Amino acid sequence: MAQSTLHRIALAFALASVLAAVGCSTAVPTGTPGVDRIGAAVLRYQGPEIEVMLSYRFANSQEGGEWLFLDVAMTGSTRASVEIKREKIALRIPSGEIVPLPLQQEFGAAYAKLAAMIARADVAAEPLDYYPNRLPKALDFLVPPGSGIAYQSVWVNDLDVATGRLYFELPADMQPGPYELRIDLPETKVRIPFRLGQDQRPTSERR
């Protein structure tokens, strides 16, 4: 009986190790510490306060346009809750200019002309369900007019995950080149660089 139990424990441990190795093998380090590539247009940031999954697939499929959409999932790195403030989120664009998230009033005023683009983004959205065991919550920094309340901040820890979309109004039409999502936290500064306007897949996967 004891040997059978030990055998099952050993098998379970071996299986867990294999699954962990498989999961890690899908992540490819980038040139930025703490940032790995998970998919063609998905990046993962892991820091001491939060983890962020960022998908820019829809943004990379658009040419021109005055708005840039990013889908994100944010969760805590530890049990200690961290406040992520809307006013501390921004985007660095190829010109070097820092673009903040718009106010809810600005987003509401532009919503009518954005509705079709938002619908296309919803269809093309990349699933960011990388935290199946964490309680999901909405990342409602900006909401469609009349659909609810836009919040100024969200709190996360390693028990929950906030998922939603970030909208940025650009000073000029969207340009190819380097971008960077920036989130300033109480103790750390999150920086996730990405590039629009080129094929992000590994060379071996391109045709």
Give the count of beta carbons closer than 10 Å to the beta carbon of residue 108. Answer: 16
Q: List the structure tokens of 63.
A: 């040419």
Residue 199 banded pLDDT, cuts 50, 70, 90: low
Residue 5 banded pLDDT, cuts 50, 70, 90: very low
Domain ranges of the chain: 29-201
| pLDDT higher than threshold 90 for residue 4 | no
Higher pLDDT, 13 or 140: 140
- Please, which residues have CB within 8 angstroms of residue 154's CB and are 6 or more apart in sequence? 74, 83, 84, 137, 139, 140, 141, 162
Nearest to 72 by CA among 158, 28, 149, 137: 137
Tokens 């940025």 label which residue? 168
Secondary structure (3-state) at 34: coil
Chain segment 56-91, per-residue pLDDT in tens: 999 999 877 899 999 999 999 999 999 999 999 999
pTM: 0.82
At residue 16, the pLDDT reads 36
Beta bridge partners of 9: none
Residue 193 to residues 35, 80, 94, Cα–Cα distance (Å): 9, 26, 11
Residue 81 to residues 74, 75, 76, 177, 186, Cα–Cα distance (Å): 12, 9, 7, 35, 11
Q: What is the mean pLDDT of the chain?
A: 86
Q: Which fold is adopted by the domain 29-201? A: Immunoglobulin-like (2.60.40)
Chain segment 137-165, per-residue pLDDT in tens: 999 999 999 999 999 999 999 999 999 99
